[in-house]
Amino acid sequence: MADTWTVAIISGVAASAVTAVVTWYVERLKLRTEFRVESAIRLLLKHDKYRSRSFDKIKSHIPGYHDDELRRMLLRAGAICFNAPNGEFWGLVKRNKSHLRAGPQQAE
């Protein structure tokens, strides 16, 4: 009976350890991929010729993500959204400060 408990405990600990290692590895790969996508977005938005890009153009260069996922990555990369009559455009904050409107003034 004691041998059965020992085997069960060792099996449980081993399974937990393997699960933890696999989970850690998968999360690491996911973060590495997201970091690379954000780097690609920054590179795309730093192009000398374009201060901003349409969402459709960005999506064509970075396929495989749903629209909202791609928007979150754009925000993490330091981009802001401009809605124009001809669509949704994104650009880096650093390069598009002139397009930002001042918000309401705070009372002093």
Q: What are phi and psi of 88, to 5 degrees?
A: -100, 125
User: What structural domains does the chain harbor?
Assistant: 2-99 (1.10.10)
Q: What are phi and psi of 78, to 5 degrees?
A: 95, 25
pLDDT tens for each residue of the chain, 108 residues long: 678 888 888 888 888 888 888 888 888 888 788 888 899 999 999 988 988 899 999 999 999 899 999 999 999 999 999 888 888 999 998 888 777 765 444 433
Q: What are phi and psi of 105, to 5 degrees?
A: -75, 140
Task: Check: CB of residue 91 under 8 Å from CB of residue 82.
Answer: yes
Q: What is the pTM of this model?
A: 0.67
Q: What are phi and psi of 47, to 5 degrees?
A: -55, 130
CA dist 73 and 62 (Å) reads 11
